[in-house]
Amino acid sequence: MVLRLLRGKDGRLSAYAPAAGGIARWTETRPGGPKWTGPVWLDVPGLTVCSIGQGSDGYVHLVGLRERRAPDERVDVDVVHATQYQTGRPTTVWHSLGTPHPNDWHKASRVNVVTTVVGKEGAVHVVVRNAGGGISARRQDAKGKWSGWVDFKGSNVTEGISAIATAEGRVEFFAPATGAALRWYMNEPGGGLKRGDNLDVDPLPGSASGVQTGPDSLTHYWRDAGSNEIFALRPAEGAEPVSLGGAAGEGPAAVIQAPVYGYDCTVLAQREPSTGRLAVAAYPTENEAAGVWWTPTGDPGLTEPALALDGYGRVVLAALAPDRTLRVARQKTTEPGLALDAWTAV
């Protein structure tokens, strides 16, 4: 479960830190901070995995896996969903979406990866790794009606399915698998998901992330299982993965597209296991060949970096301290390059 940093329609940021049994949430008191409220604990008994997505309408969708133990030691697992309609406000009640294996609790208990993304007109896509090692998905349309579970096939999917959408609502899924990466995509917003060719790469489980980098361009990132280096790919005919170079890290890289001193850049953040610190980097958007240079920031022990733009368009980097409290650093706009203010405890 990964820290998420999202901006609401009113310009305020909220940080979401899923944990076993619920989600901690912090919210800016006004756009641009610097003060925050929280953490507010969103209680979800039995929560084991959680994914958080947001649509262009600002609605935040929280999707997780819930375990409930029966007296006979049976463990019932289902996918649950709730919606937060306004920044800092309570969510709806959590309701069950079931699983792709409604009649076999043994198989349902092997559903242990979930991700969510919001496409065209607020359509919510929930994807899980099913008991067969492929992916299954449900979709909620703009009117709130849910489809049934659909098996999109695939095999040997590992941890960390990445889901991203363009501003127009075209959706893609990137799934690390054993010795390969799998991809599902839409040709047009609101269309059906199609299976792409398997990618001949070796992604580290749990390392995938992605971001929109052009009007209809989505860039996927992952770590190579052998070197831990970050690779990038914009799927297109003949496209090849590009190594960003620089220091190796761990976990999925946080990534956003952001202006840096007047230039359109892609900003990344990662944790460096060699130093125990976070590091940030920026490069001209869609120019991965330029490489990246990582700059350490913050005290050792910070984990789960998350990035967003605040109400003034500044890059904000958030992370969790060892005691699971929130730490935040904000972009300086008076200096060239990607410079951050001092870290503050929320």
Structural domain contains residue 311: no
Cα separation, 101 vs 119, in Å, equals 25
- Ranges of beta strands (E only) in 85-216 are 95-98, 114-118, 124-129, 135-140, 150-151, 162-165, 171-177, 180-185, 194-195, 209-214
Residue 145 has pLDDT above 90, yes or no: yes
* CATH number of the domain that residue 15 is part of: 2.120.10.10
Q: What local confidence, expressed as pLDDT, does residue 248 receive?
A: 77
Give 32-84 pLDDT, tens digit per residue. 989 999 899 999 999 999 999 999 999 999 999 999 988 777 889 999 999 99
| Residue 43 pLDDT | 96
Task: Say if 247 falls within a structural domain.
Answer: yes
Residue 140: what pLDDT? 93
Strand ordering across the sheet containing 114-118: 114-118, 124-129, 135-140, 150-151
Per residue in 286-342, pLDDT tens? 999 888 999 999 999 999 999 999 999 999 999 999 999 999 999 998 888 899 999
317: in domain: no
What is the Cα–Cα distance from 303 to 277, expressed in whole angstroms?
8
Q: Say what the pTM is.
A: 0.95
Please, what's the b/e burial string for 314-324 (b: 16 or more CB within 10 A of its CB; e: otherwise)?
Answer: bbbbbbbbeee
Question: Domain for residue 123, yes or no?
Answer: yes
Residue 101 near residue 107, CB atoms below 8 Å: yes
Dump pLDDT digits (tens) for 230-257.
999 998 867 899 999 877 788 899 999 9
CB contact set of 117 (below 8 Å; sequence gap of 6+): 53, 124, 125, 127, 163, 164, 165, 171, 173
Q: Give the single-character DSSP code of 108.
A: H
Q: How far apart are CA 293 and CA 220, in angstroms?
A: 19
Compute the average pLDDT of residues 213-240. 90
Does 215 fall in a domain? yes
Looking at residue 247, its pLDDT comes to 73
> How many separate domains does the chain show?
1
Kind plus residue range of the DSSP H or E element containing 105? helix 105-108
For the chain, helix (H) and strand (E) counts, in that order, are 1, 28
Please name every residue paired with 265 in a beta bridge, in sequence order, or none if there are none.
Answer: 258, 284
Say what the pLDDT of residue 333 is: 83
pLDDT at 312: 94
Strand 171-177 to 180-185 pairing: antiparallel
Q: pLDDT averaged over the chain?
A: 93
How much is the pLDDT for 238? 72
Domain range spanning residue 151?
4-252
Mean pLDDT for 119-127 is 91
| Minimum mean pLDDT range among 46-50, 95-99, 141-145 | 141-145
The residue among 182, 137, 140 whose CA lies nearest residue 158 is: 182
